[in-house]
Amino acid sequence: MERTFLMIKPDGVQRGLIGEIISRFERKGLKLVAGKFEVLSEERVMAHYAEHVNKPFFLGLKRYITSGPCFLFVFEGKDIVRITREMIGATNPAESSPGTIRGDYALEIGMNVIHGSDSPETASREIAIHFTPDEISSYVRIDEPYLYE
Instruction: Determine which one of 48, 52, 115, 130 is catalytic.
Output: 115
Helix, coil or strand: residue 149: coil
Backbone angles phi, psi at 109, to 5 degrees: -65, -35
- The CA distance from 138 to 83, in Å, is 20
Q: 115 catalytic, yes or no?
A: yes
Q: Percent helix, strand, coil in the chain (nearest 5)?
A: 45, 20, 35
Catalytic machinery residues:
115
